[in-house]
Amino acid sequence: MTDYSPIYLPETDVYRMDGFRPPLVDAAYLGRLGVKAQPSPSMLEGLERGSRIFARRLEERKLLPRTRFELVDIEPAEVVPEIHNYTGRCPTLTYEINPVRGCGVGCQYCLVTDGVHEQPLTAVRNYHLYVRRLLEEKNGAGSENRNHYYYFSPKTEAFQEATLLTGIAHRILREFIDHFRRHPGSRARLFIASKAGARHLAVADGGETVLDLFARLKDRMQFNTSVSIMPKPFRDLLEPYAAPLEARMAAVRLCRERGIPADSALVQPIFTPYLTEEHIRSFFDALHREGIVNYKPEFLTACMENLAMLGPLLGLTDPRMERQLYEDYLLPSNEDHRKQRARTAPDRRLSLEGIRRMMAYTDTLGMSVSICYWVRRQLDIPESLIPLVNRNGFQCLGYQSKLFGHV
């Protein structure tokens, strides 16, 4: 096991919040908050179960990931490639790059783990050899006309301590550099979505920083920062080892200064109680100042167990927002509004209204929107919005299709 100190530390220690005790989120608790939505019995059962899990994990100090990882090796020939396509309608074939099992960032809303970070963190030391094999099979000799994205990394943070301090991330990037040297006409493209801050991009291996390696790939990769719309004190609790928002914007700035495409953002998760007109303007103005011209909005999706943890933490910032969070998710009519892994999204009407309000403002900034097929189908996004959605050449997750012109 390798112990480490996180590159960024939260201002608030979730284990040292005097007086905070996780409540039992049941019908009586919701009633005391003034929640008018009447959740189904299965919703209530999930909330109560989640409350007990939350209390146990807080008492046992298991809310945050352990700051240690184990290095392992794999047999590259035996790894089965994973395709990133939840809907079957994604606009390009995308292969996943996942060199870490678990994640050191510790997002309490994590799409992969529902915010549970009790599992050991394992980093694959020779993962780059699998990447080499995958690139040769899919975009090597005789396959130059195949448009493939490689997504680093959908299941975990690409640039966390386990990949940076070991050189794993650097070796993966070098495999792409070497691939393009061997196959100049390759139509492989690297898509990176990350909460990395400027310090992450400055970590060096073999005399080269992550940013240096990005610069060598600049015509064949894009860097999408991942940011959220939520109160700052709440973000500090929910993304404990992630870079602060300002540091993520600094990473975008550094990329753009080096000519690396970094003008699209994943805006996730969006907490509906915080999505006021004032916060929409201030948030997107900040992105626009850094040259972001496209974004993919994604509202918080959560299983009921996870919601029972997020609600009380949000209540520390503002009890009214906690009440509204339950109102937005617990209508029985919303029980089937689910995304991958059966995670519940906010009320459909509210979701569509929120997307329209964001788009109305960002259109004045010249920004376009990426909305995946699942969301379009679930919310019945009208055809009249599709031109705005597709403007600037971004698709689905924010893939920049114009990158395939750089050959």
Condensed to tens digits (0 to 9), the pLDDT of residues 55-64 reads 999 999 999 9
| 3-state secondary structure (DSSP) of residue 359 | helix
- The number of CA neighbours under 13 Å toward the Cβ of 380 is 3
- The predicted structure's pLDDT at residue 140: 87
The letter for the amino acid at 325 is L
Confidence of residue 340 (pLDDT cuts 50, 70, 90): low
- Nearest 5 degrees, angle CA 275-CA 279-CA 282? 150
Examine the pLDDT at 406 and tell me if it is beyond 70: no
- The predicted structure's pLDDT at residue 374: 65
- The predicted structure's pLDDT at residue 146: 81
For residues 263 and 235, the answer to whether their CB atoms sit within 8 Å is no
| H or E element at residue 223 | strand 221-229
| 3-state secondary structure (DSSP) of residue 20 | coil
Q: What is the DSSP letter of 79?
A: P
Location of structure tokens 């400027």? 198
Confidence of residue 333 (pLDDT cuts 50, 70, 90): confident
Distances (CA, A) of 25 to 46, 172, 337: 9, 44, 21
Average pLDDT for the chain: 90
Domain ranges for the chain? 60-405
> In the chain, pLDDT over 90 holds for what percent of residues?
71
CA distance 372 to 322: 28
**212 backbone dihedrals φ, ψ, rounded to 5°:** -60, -45
pLDDT in tens, 264-288: 999 999 999 999 999 999 999 999 9
**375 backbone dihedrals φ, ψ, rounded to 5°:** -65, -40
CATH class, 60-405 region: alpha beta
For residues 251 and 200, the answer to whether their CB atoms sit within 8 Å is yes
| H or E element at residue 295 | strand 294-299
What 78-85 contacts at long range (C-beta under 8 Å, 24+ apart), as own/partner pairs, is 79/130, 79/133, 81/134, 81/138, 84/151, 84/154
CA distance 230 to 354: 14
* Of 85-89, 221-225, 314-318, 374-378, minimum mean pLDDT range: 85-89
What tokens were used for 86?
A: 């939840």
Cβ neighbours, 10 Å, residue 143: 17
pLDDT in tens, 137-191: 999 887 666 888 999 999 999 999 999 999 999 999 999 999 999 999 999 999 9
Angle between helices 304-317 and 319-329 (to 10 degrees): 150
CA distance 116 to 341: 14
Average pLDDT over residues 229-255: 95
CA distance 43 to 194: 32
- The predicted structure's pLDDT at residue 407: 44
pLDDT in tens, 6-43: 999 998 889 989 889 999 999 999 999 999 999 999 99
CA distance 343 to 248: 27
The predicted model scores a pTM of 0.93
Location of structure tokens 């993966």? 172
CA distance 344 to 133: 37
Determine if residue 115 is left, alpha or beta; phi over 0 gives left, psi from -120 to 50 gives alpha, anything else beta: left
What tokens were used for 309?
A: 């943890």
